[in-house]
Amino acid sequence: MDQLALGLIWYAVLLFSLTLHEAAHAWVARRGGDLTAYLGGQASLDPMPHIRREPWGTVLMPLLSFALWGWMIGWASTPYDPRWAYAHPRRAALMSVAGPAANLLLVLAAAVAIRAGLAWQVFEPGFASFTQLVVGGGSPFAGAVAVFLSILFTLNLLLFVFNLIPVPPLDGGAAIGLLLPAPAARRVQVLLRRPQLSLLGIVIAWFAIGRLFAPIHGMALRLLF
One-letter amino acid at 58 equals T
pTM (whole model) above 0.85:
yes
What pLDDT shows up at residue 19?
A: 98
Average pLDDT on 170-186 reads 93
Summarize pLDDT for 12-24 with one digit per residue, the tens.
999 999 999 999 9
What pLDDT shows up at residue 127?
A: 82
Summarize pLDDT for 78-116 with one digit per residue, the tens.
999 999 999 999 999 999 999 999 999 999 999 999 999
- The string over 4-36, giving b where at least 16 C-beta atoms fall within 10 Å of a residue's C-beta and e elsewhere, is eebbebbbebbbbbbbbbbbbbbbbbbebebeb
On the 0-12 / 13-18 / 19+ scale of CB atoms within 10 A, 94 is buried
Is the model's pLDDT at 130 over the cut of 90? no
- CA gap 2, 132 in Å, rounded: 14
Is the model's pLDDT at 128 over the cut of 90? no
List the beta bridge partners of residue 134. Answer: 125
- Kindly report the average pLDDT of the chain as a whole number: 95
Is the model's pLDDT at 1 over the cut of 70? no
Is the model's pLDDT at 185 over the cut of 90? yes
Active site residues: 22
Is the model's pLDDT at 118 over the cut of 70? yes
Summarize pLDDT for 204-223 with one digit per residue, the tens.
999 999 999 999 999 999 99
Of the given ranges (52-61, 79-88, 133-142), which has the lowest mean pLDDT?
Answer: 133-142
Closest by CA to 69, choosing from 130, 159, 16, is: 130
Residue 142: HSE in the Cβ half-sphere, 13 Å Cα cutoff? 17
Summarize pLDDT for 58-71 with one digit per residue, the tens.
999 999 999 999 99
Residue % of the chain over a pLDDT of 90: 91
Contact 26, 81 (CB under 8 A): no
Summarize pLDDT for 150-177 with one digit per residue, the tens.
999 999 999 999 999 999 999 999 999 9
